[in-house]
Amino acid sequence: MRASLILVMCWFLGSCAIPLTNEEAPYYSPGLSATDIEQIKALVAKRPDIKQPIWTIQTEEGRSDRANVYAGRWDKTGDQSDYFTVAKQHGKWRIISRIQRDTLKKDNTVVVS
């Protein structure tokens, strides 16, 4: 029981963390097929109101039909990024949440030396 609680707490803390930079290659959840990733990317590409590029597509725990998407730039102060949820319904990916935008502020940056 104690080990299960520790694993759940680690998962919860890890799922709350949002990467502070997208300088590296995009991260796509291993729970998604290559076709799913391409469909989500095509869905976002059709939307001029959503920042580009996609830098993370992360499935929700235990679900391959629902994912959180992070797109835009998140490298330096002033960069903007959009985030939203997509779901696969009847074989097609759709945006199911409000598209939220955030701006990287100086306080959000981490300097690694």
Question: How confident is the model over 72-96, as pLDDT tens digits?
Answer: 998 888 999 999 999 999 999 999 9
Radius of gyration of the chain measured on its C-alpha atoms: 15
Tell me what percent of the residues of the chain surpass a pLDDT of 70: 73
Residue 11: inside a domain: no
Confidence at 65, pLDDT banded by 50, 70, 90: very high
Tell me what percent of the residues of the chain surpass a pLDDT of 90: 61
Q: What is the CATH number of the domain that holds 92?
A: 3.10.450
What's the domain count of the chain?
1
Residue 51: inside a domain: yes
- pTM greater than 0.95: no
Give me the domain span that covers residue 40: 21-108
